[in-house]
Structure 1
Amino acid sequence: MPRLLALEWDAREARLAVGRTGGKGVIVDLAMSIDLGPAEEAPGETVGERLAAVLTEKGVGNCETLVAVPRGKTELRVLQTPPAPDDELPEMVRFQALQQFSSLREDWPLDFVRLDSGDEEQTSILAAALSPQVVQEIQESCAVCQSPARKLVLRPFATASLFKRRGDDGRCRLLVELLSEEVDLTVLVDGQVVFLRSVRLSADDLSMALVGEIRRTIAAAQNQLGEHRIEAVSLVGNEGEYAELCEGLAERLDLDVQLFDPFAGTDVSSDLRKDMPSHPGRYAALLGMLHDEATGIAHRIDFLNPRRKPAPPDPRRRYALLGAVAAALLMMLIGTIWWGLRSYDKKIEALEAQSKGLEKTVAAAEEVRSQVEEIDGFATGDITWLDELYDLSNEFLPTEQAIVDQATLSSRTGGGGQIALKGHVTDHNLAEDLEKSLREVWPEVNGAPPQPDDREKVYPWRIEMGIVVPSPEVEELNNDE
């Protein structure tokens, strides 16, 4: 396997780590930072040139390149979807995200993770999207280094992966990662990311400013935590870097505050051990990506390799299998006829025995056919939600006239389902137009009178509608009539 190169940068500093696979996962040979100077002196197009110069100087050749993307460059939101199999979630999540994200477009890469909400009727999803322009800028910088990016990983998830790898004690905790320009605050439950934010801090009285942001994060995350409470804080860095800050946070927060050294437990080369970076806490995400890549663990949020609907099975394989079965049956039939003609002069008792054997085969086939009919009956009553979402998108008013705030899809016992819509329109008369449009697909649409909403300027009328989705059997019967 080629060497691994992990990168991240902001306006002031670029950081890189180079590793190779070893017995325990990865051995880190190089970890260093590159000062990019003040933001006005370090335009984005020069980052690739500076990285390329350093990599050439250090003798780093062709590598599998991983890039950590900061929270601030992404759009991230918690979505709610109906319970669905994993292969249907990607399209459902993108549909919901297009309605609720402020800037998302069809060409934006989007990845997501499930959140354990404990709600059987809804699935909580943490979805993140990245602008294609940001992806292009990163790839252009990597191209200058002759190391195109293979993975674009959301930085807090890479840090959380490294922390979990070191041995999570199961407590609900807050990871605090201080970087050159900002601080990442990530809430973990059982080692999984449930809430994250990134803020810039003033260099004056860092401890006091950090205490305030930690308290704001704890308050903001409570809606996602449910019955959990943040019990501990892990400050990413070693004693030489943040020992005094760690003690100050513990006194002011009245929480268990611990240091998390990202290099502890990581194998490093002898050369690197002699020249460790001055701010080791800033390399947690890079080390997390290296470990996951070296051990074959999929990155939780990867914008170049997001979760997608599986490709449909190749029909040629199915046709080949059916052809082989048909040929085998034909050969069996020919053999049976030939054997019957050859044994025509045998005794009647032998023919009766053979007939009984065939009766057992027919009985078994009848049983299988009965089971197949039951399965077909069940499948016929099931709703294909992706088709309903497609119809809803086609029949809905243009975005200049109406928006959807919330769409809840649920199945009903005995077949069929319902869709509950909440949204806003620019004019109260549009509510009736929307109901007429939706009845083109679903005969039973119930809408409450539109209500004025002073909080909305562009869409000042609030609407609520309920759509009854018939089961496929009922819908087919209505079409026949």
Structure 2
Amino acid sequence: MSKLLAVSWNPFSLRFVYGESGKNGVLRVIQSGERPTALPSASDDSTDASTAEDAAPAAASAETDPVACLVALVKELKASKARLLLCVNRAMVDSATFAVPPASDAELPAIVRNMALRQLPGMTEDSVIDFIAFPETDEGRRTVNAMALAEADQQLVQRLATESGCAQASVVVVTHSLSLFAPPPDEDDSSATLLISKGHQSAHMLVTHRQLPVMSRSLRLAPAMKGDEEAEYIAVEVSRTLLTAESVDGPDIEIGHVVVIGSELESSALVAALTDQLGIGVDRKSMRSLVEGEAGDASLSAYAPLVATLKLTAMGQPPPVDFLHPKRPPKATQKRNRILATVAAAAVLIGVGWYYVHMQFADATAENVVLKARLRELDELVKETRSKRNLAKVLAAWEKSRLNWLDELRDITIRTPSSPELVLQQFSGAASGSGYTVSFRGISQSPDVIRKMEEQLRDSWHAPKTPGIREIKDGKKSLWSFQTTMPLKSRSKDKYTSHRTAEPSEVAAAASVKAASKTTSKALTKGPAPKTAKAPTGSSKSIKATASGGQR
């Protein structure tokens, strides 16, 4: 079992994960956390102005020099025998993607270095350059992604590796290890995978194609950003980066899978924002699948690149780029062979370079002509369809929110109790916000009738509210004045009430009328009734009037 220590840093803190690797690539986390790179000075409490002015430059230099912090950390963890993995931020790395002439793997490092010195600004003969070589295309072309550190950053990582006290060290790009979370490659699927890891005030994104890093970026997040605002900003920046970037083969990158690394609590807002921004499904993966046992702070998404770097090392996979151990051409056994190789490489570069540049310009010119013609066609199409698209949006919004007032009035009329005890005196309706509201007022002989009216009108689309009822004296009788407000919701035509269902009291009244009619018919068939038998006739009229009033 070997010890591993992965470290990343920024101007203010140093983040680390210390673990050990076992058989079959098993990884266990021993300790993880953050250490401030600027330690408090003993003279902080001094009130001398000159002392404070002298201490400010020292504090600023301490913030930008994590060497002392790393040395103290290695002593604290007793990790001098561990392999040190320095994960540099993507913003510190200069990169360029270009095609190279046909060459073997042994010849490729020299060719890439010579071409990268012209592609990368500020590079010198002493600069360390490493690269990622992509598979050869069907046309025989091969593309590489060359990377290098600026001179100051190169000196810093050399100091970190030398003064840390660790036996072995590597300098890798922090975003490259995220490729471990990409789904296995499928021969029938040529799309790329987008991986995103969000940390404290930073976020890392990586685009991989068949497990090789194609494009990566580190985002700085403002300290004030939190929650949905932070997730929305990351989603917009990711979308903007994908729109402006090109794949290694030239055309736009086609993203087929999106993976957010982190727990559900940390990444739920980011998953939702990316789904809305990119329009494709977003998967979530956790670092716990890479670690055996408890992970502690390393289970947070901010530690995902470090944990993935340890896992790749435990599995024995070399990093795509290592600035301490870059890809180099094999050493020549004789001086004569080196001279011949140099002359041959120069001849190849001159001949193939001219041909390559000429073909590149020709391809770019032809592609620009096609793209300009296509752009003009799309611009004309957008101008022609703008008015129709706007009209369609307006009609769709109107159709979605409109209300059929005829059906609504019939529904309310049918469902309102038909009783002489309830009289509606005023009715009005109008739009209100995103819905509609009707209000009506009237008088009733009893508050129970008003309550019954509300119960008959209330359903999923009506919410009647009667704030108060006022009593009006009419001699010895009491009338009750009310005003009801009822919000309405639009619905489909089949949801409206189209006919009135008879109530039990009305059914009973109809049955009584029918029985009284039968009794009167039997009395008439027996002969003329005496003059004192006029009560049934009057009684019959009273019943009919009551029935008529009940059925109205």
- Does the CA contact (< 8 Å) of 2:18 and 2:31 recur in 1? yes
Letter in 2 for 1:300: P
Shift, 1:297, TM fit: 1.6
What are the residue-to-residue correspondences of 1:294-373 with 2, within 5 Å? 294-313=314-333
Aligned partner of 1:378 in structure 2 is: none
Q: Give 3-state SS (helix, strand or coil) of 1:266's partner.
A: coil
Q: How does the TM-score come out when normalised to structure 1? A: 0.61
Give the one of 214, 234, 239 matched to 2:238.
Answer: 214
Letter in 1 for 2:240: R
What are the residue-to-residue correspondences of 1:56-205 with 2, within 5 Å? 56-116=75-135, 118=137, 120-147=139-166, 150-160=169-179, 162-164=180-182, 167=184, 171-202=191-222, 203-204=224-225, 205=229
Aligned partner of 2:20 in structure 1 is: 20
- Does the CA contact (< 8 Å) of 1:184 and 1:196 recur in 2? yes
134-143 or 304-313, which moves further after superposition?
134-143
Q: Give 3-state SS (helix, strand or coil) of 1:297's partner.
A: coil
Shift, 1:117, TM fit: 6.4
Q: Give 3-state SS (helix, strand or coil) of 2:321's partner.
A: coil
Q: Distance in 1 between matches of 2:83 and 2:10?
A: 21
- Does the CA contact (< 8 Å) of 1:7 and 1:17 recur in 2? yes
Q: Give 3-state SS (helix, strand or coil) of 2:288's partner.
A: coil
Q: Distance in 2 between matches of 1:47 and 1:228?
A: 37
Identity of aligned residues (%): 23
Aligned partner of 1:253 in structure 2 is: 278
- Does the CA contact (< 8 Å) of 1:173 and 1:233 recur in 2? yes
Higher relative contact order (CA 8 A, sep 6+): 1
Aligned partner of 1:479 in structure 2 is: none
- Does the CA contact (< 8 Å) of 1:12 and 1:42 recur in 2? no
1:407 aligns with 2:344: no
Q: Distance in 2 between matches of 1:220 and 1:87?
A: 34
Shift, 1:389, TM fit: 5.3
Q: Distance in 1 between matches of 2:162 and 2:103?
A: 39
Q: Distance in 2 between matches of 1:303 and 1:173?
A: 25
- Does the CA contact (< 8 Å) of 2:195 and 2:207 recur in 1? yes
Q: Distance in 1 between matches of 2:178 and 2:217?
A: 14
- Does the CA contact (< 8 Å) of 2:235 and 2:273 recur in 1? no
- Does the CA contact (< 8 Å) of 2:14 and 2:69 recur in 1? no
Q: Distance in 1 between matches of 2:218 and 2:17?
A: 22
Aligned partner of 1:335 in structure 2 is: none
Q: Encode CA deviations 1:435-473: one digit per residue, 9 max, x unaligned.
A: xxxxxxxxxxxxxxxxxxxxxxxxxxxxxxxxxxxxxxx
Q: Give 3-state SS (helix, strand or coil) of 2:287's partner.
A: coil
Q: Encode CA deviations 1:165-200: one digit per residue, 9 max, x unaligned.
A: x74666522111223343222111222211222332
Aligned partner of 1:288 in structure 2 is: 308
182-191 or 216-225, which moves further after superposition?
216-225
Aligned partner of 1:10 in structure 2 is: 10
1:48 aligns with 2:67: yes
Shift, 1:42, TM fit: 6.7
Letter in 1 for 2:206: T
Q: Give 3-state SS (helix, strand or coil) of 1:407's partner.
A: helix
What are the residue-to-residue correspondences of 1:373-384 with 2, within 5 Å? none
Q: Encode CA deviations 1:249-292: one digit per residue, 9 max, x unaligned.
A: 22343221122222323224xxx44x334x72222222232223
- Does the CA contact (< 8 Å) of 2:231 and 2:269 recur in 1? no
Q: Label 1:243 to 1:101 Cα distance change in 2 as closer, same or farther (>3 A).
A: same
Q: Label 1:158 to 1:390 Cα distance change in 2 as closer, same or farther (>3 A).
A: same
Q: Label 1:44 to 1:62 Cα distance change in 2 as closer, same or farther (>3 A).
A: farther
Shift, 1:96, TM fit: 0.9
Q: Label 1:314 to 1:29 Cα distance change in 2 as closer, same or farther (>3 A).
A: farther
Letter in 1 for 2:147: A
Letter in 2 for 1:18: Y
Letter in 2 for 1:288: A
Q: Distance in 2 between matches of 1:142 and 1:99?
A: 28
Letter in 1 for 2:148: A
Q: Label 1:13 to 1:263 Cα distance change in 2 as closer, same or farther (>3 A).
A: farther
Q: Distance in 1 between matches of 2:107 and 2:136?
A: 19
1:31 aligns with 2:32: yes
Q: Distance in 2 between matches of 1:149 and 1:44?
A: 26
Shift, 1:34, TM fit: 2.2
Q: Give 3-state SS (helix, strand or coil) of 1:196's partner.
A: strand
Q: Distance in 2 between matches of 1:66 and 1:308?
A: 20
Aligned partner of 2:432 in structure 1 is: none
- Does the CA contact (< 8 Å) of 1:187 and 1:195 recur in 2? yes
281-290 or 300-309, which moves further after superposition?
281-290
Q: Distance in 2 between matches of 1:213 and 1:117?
A: 31
1:233 aligns with 2:258: yes
Shift, 1:240, TM fit: 2.6
Q: Distance in 2 between matches of 1:29 and 1:184?
A: 24
Q: Distance in 1 between matches of 2:325 and 2:76?
A: 31
Give the one of 332, 345, 352 matched to 1:386.
Answer: 345
Q: Give 3-state SS (helix, strand or coil) of 2:330's partner.
A: coil
Q: Encode CA deviations 1:336-389: one digit per residue, 9 max, x unaligned.
A: xxxxxxxxxxxxxxxxxxxxxxxxxxxxxxxxxxxxxxxxxxxxxxx9750315
Q: Label 1:59 to 1:308 Cα distance change in 2 as closer, same or farther (>3 A).
A: closer
Q: Distance in 1 between matches of 2:206 and 2:304?
A: 13
- Does the CA contact (< 8 Å) of 1:109 and 1:132 recur in 2? no
Q: Distance in 2 between matches of 1:37 and 1:179?
A: 20
Q: Label 1:91 to 1:54 Cα distance change in 2 as closer, same or farther (>3 A).
A: closer
